[in-house]
Amino acid sequence: MNGTPDISPQKRISYMENSEIERRTDNLRMAQQLLTGKITPEQFADQQTERELQLERLAFIDPLTGLLNRHGLSHAFDLKLQIAGREMRGGQVDGLKASYLMMDLDGLKQINDTHGHGTGDLVLLYLGQTIQNSLRPTDLAARIGGDEFVIILDGASCNEAVLVAERLRASLSEDEGLFIPNGINVTTSMGIVELPEGISSEQLRQPNFGDVLLHQLYIQADPLLYKAKSRGKNQIATLPIQ
């Protein structure tokens, strides 16, 4: 899709390596302060906890929109699967009903080219805030690429997810004038699929099952998103593709 590309795997590795170096440097500095009596053991423990929380946030959160990033979505979704596994009855997971909504911002490249990347970032921030304000605490929302977003609606069928998506599109058109420069209309195209039925306890025990399932949903939703784009954008497409 158009827009700023996601961080490459190599850059992610480099970023995490730098974060680890920074963490160790801070721990060494605080240890020196503890040994010289500049801070108390309690202050040392508090500072370590705060630093770990900051690094965890950087690892899981998209810094521009405040939504989960791709890694954060994988982690949160895996936790949902673990909870569902504990509530399992018989040989299948009970209560894992959900819909996967893949969303793409329409025309981000044109916005960047015409108004500058700063305005493009403002539009992405506005979209991220609108998504966050439209969801429940049990839903998951992530920015997984430059202008690509994913929402996992907990307990929602595809038809219910379409209603949520329509409300989200309506809220964008209602409020955008308060935040976005004149002449820019914020619209999105969306593809929606449901999680597969009959997930078994054996599947939950497989390593990286959450990542496999997320990839499967992405592969299903991506052509739907392109179908919505090809129909003129600012639309929602679901299975079966017409």
Q: What is the DSSP string of 12-49?
A: HHHHHHHHHHHHHHHHHHHHHHHHTTSS-HHHHHHHHH
How many angstroms separate the CA atoms of 204 and 16, rounded? 28
147 is an active site residue: yes
> In terms of domains, do 40 and 81 share one?
no
Domain assignment of residue 146, yes or no: yes
> In terms of domains, do 135 and 156 share one?
yes
Q: Number of folded domains in the chain?
A: 2
Domain final residue, candidates 21, 36, 60: 60
Strands 148-154 and 140-143: antiparallel
> In terms of domains, do 129 and 202 share one?
yes
Domain assignment of residue 65, yes or no: no
Q: Are 144 and 6 in contact (CB under 8 A)?
A: yes
> In terms of domains, do 116 and 49 share one?
no
Q: Which domain holds residue 93?
A: 70-238
> In terms of domains, do 137 and 112 share one?
yes
Domain assignment of residue 166, yes or no: yes
> In terms of domains, do 91 and 26 share one?
no
Domain assignment of residue 2, yes or no: no
Domain assignment of residue 21, yes or no: yes
Could you tell me the CATH number of the domain that includes residue 123?
Answer: 3.30.70.270
Q: Are 202 and 85 in contact (CB under 8 A)?
A: no
> In terms of domains, do 44 and 164 share one?
no
Give, for all 242 residues of the chain, the pLDDT tens digit: 433 333 333 333 343 445 555 556 665 665 666 667 776 767 666 665 665 555 565 688 898 998 999 999 998 998 888 777 776 655 555 557 899 999 999 989 988 888 888 888 988 998 998 999 889 999 999 999 999 999 999 999 999 999 999 999 888 877 656 566 667 788 899 999 999 887 877 787 777 889 999 999 999 999 999 999 999 999 999 988 65
> In terms of domains, do 52 and 80 share one?
no
> In terms of domains, do 101 and 20 share one?
no
Domain assignment of residue 162, yes or no: yes
Per-residue b or e along 98-124, where b marks 16 or more CB atoms closer than 10 Å to that residue's CB? bbbbbbbbbbbeebbeebeeeebbbbb
> In terms of domains, do 177 and 207 share one?
yes
> In terms of domains, do 113 and 42 share one?
no
Tokens 């680890």 map to which residue? 20
Q: Which of 147, 154, 211, 222 is catalytic?
A: 147
> In terms of domains, do 125 and 175 share one?
yes
H helices of the chain, in order, are 9-35, 41-60, 70-86, 108-115, 117-134, 158-175, 201-204, 209-230
- pTM for this prediction: 0.74
